[in-house]
Amino acid sequence: MGDIADLTAKTYEIARLIPHGRVTTYGHIARLAGYPNYSRHVGNALKMLPPDSTVPWQRVISSKGIISPRGDQGLGVARQRDRLEQEGVVVTTLAGAGGEKVDIRAYGWFPENVELDG
DNA sequence: CTCATGACTTCGG
DNA sequence: ACCGAAGCCATGA
């Protein structure tokens, strides 16, 4: 523990706990994993997953409630939006470059703590 | 060592 | 509510 590999493993473990049709944030996963201030690395861990991974990476969004842009012409964002809508999450396109937004008050999942492993 | 970069977050204006 | 700046930390050039 105490390294990025550990944070990566916990990120996947926690992501699997997010209920179907709900979402949480990079920062919250970082805190639950015991690595506050490592939200960017949570995003990095999800980035490494293959597109067809069983880890529900689509349920992780930014604290602003939008699907984080990827510098890939919006392809990743589109895939994430599709996967979310597929499980009943309403995603709205904000005006201009506002991004794809999820109502975090309606779909947010923010437990104080979680049981890892076990 | 310094700089830039990122699926980030928070704070001010 | 919308931005931009600042804070954040590993990684690679």
pLDDT tens per residue, range A9-51: 999 999 999 999 999 999 999 999 999 999 999 999 999 999 7
pLDDT at A59: 98
Q: Could you give the CA distance from residue A44 to residue A49 in angstroms, rounded to a whole number?
A: 9
Residue whose pair of structure tokens reads 């506002």 in the numeric block? A98
Indicate the pTM of the whole model.
0.96
CA A110 → C1' B3, Å? 36
> Is there a contact between A85 and A91 (Cβ–Cβ < 8 Å)?
yes
Nucleotide B10: closest residue by CA–C1'? A63
Report chain C positions within 7 A of protein CB atoms.
Answer: 2-3, 8-11
Chain B positions under 7 Å from a protein CB?
Answer: 6-10
- Give the pairing of strands A24-25 and A60-61: parallel
The dihedrals phi and psi of A25, each to the nearest 5 degrees, come to -115, 165
Percentage of chain A surpassing pLDDT 90?
92
Q: How far apart are CA A14 and CA A31, in angstroms?
A: 11
